[in-house]
Amino acid sequence: MSLSGLFLLLFLLIHMCMNLTSVFSAEVYNAVCDFMGTNPVIQVMVPVLAAGFVVHIAYALMLTLQNRKARGADKYASSNKSDVKWASKNMFVLGLLILGFLGLHLTHFWVKMQWPEWTGGHPEEGYKLVSELFRNPVYVGIYIVWVAALWFHLTHGFWSAFQTIGLDNKIWFPRLKMIANIYAAVIAIGFIIVPIFFGLGLDKYLH
């Protein structure tokens, strides 16, 4: 699960950087979308990414069921309850929220842009889709909730992934937690800039 998680961490960083191009230039963002839709390497990576999500979710479900079975009536066994962070106790629920939004997100973007590329149809313009969708305050609100869930998920998942592969000594453990908080903050801020930018109508200054 840690390896699939690290793979998805890298994907989030790349995806965030691509999204941010939309607040600087419609032409650059559309060029990025075209590249994603036509580059053969990217086409190969799409099913690999999907497999990464499936593996991560499957392991998360398996570990959640194992932990609940092991704890029995004790919902979260710990000698010191204050040491158990909220995100740690709710990783599966946070994961479900993130997954639910990804499904919604795919129907708005992937199905309308990359899927037509695969099927010989006519993909919609990426920048137009983004600007129109984020003018909807309901979707902006949903997106912000998703970013909040993602932040909580990352603050625990980042250091936990490295701890699982062996970086769990007293020196590296606090460092990883600090890096996790910084990484989660960067990802959350990077993702949330886009809906706020279009939601406030700031895109009009690009023209």
Say whether pLDDT at 169 is over 50: yes
Q: So what's the pLDDT on residue 111?
A: 83
Kindly tell me the sign of the dihedral angle through the C-alpha atoms of 16, 17, 22, 24.
positive
Structure confidence by residue, pLDDT tens digits, 55-99: 766 766 676 666 666 665 555 444 444 444 666 666 667 777 777
DSSP 39: -
Separation between Cα atoms, residue 169 and residue 163, nearest integer Å? 8
Output the pTM of the full model: 0.73
Q: So what's the pLDDT on residue 65?
A: 66
Instruction: Mention every residue, 6+ apart, whose C-beta is less than 8 A from residue 88.
Output: 156
Q: So what's the pLDDT on residue 78?
A: 45
b/e sequence 126-160, b meaning 16+ C-beta within 10 Å: bbebbbebbeeeebbebbbebbebbbbbbbbbbbb
**Range with the lowest mean pLDDT among 8-17, 107-116, 122-131, 177-186?**
107-116
- Which amino acid appears at position 144 of this protein? I
Q: Tell me which of 152 and 190 has the higher pLDDT.
A: 190
Domains annotated for the chain, with CATH where assigned, are: 2-70+88-206 (1.20.1300.10)
Say whether pLDDT at 100 is over 50: yes
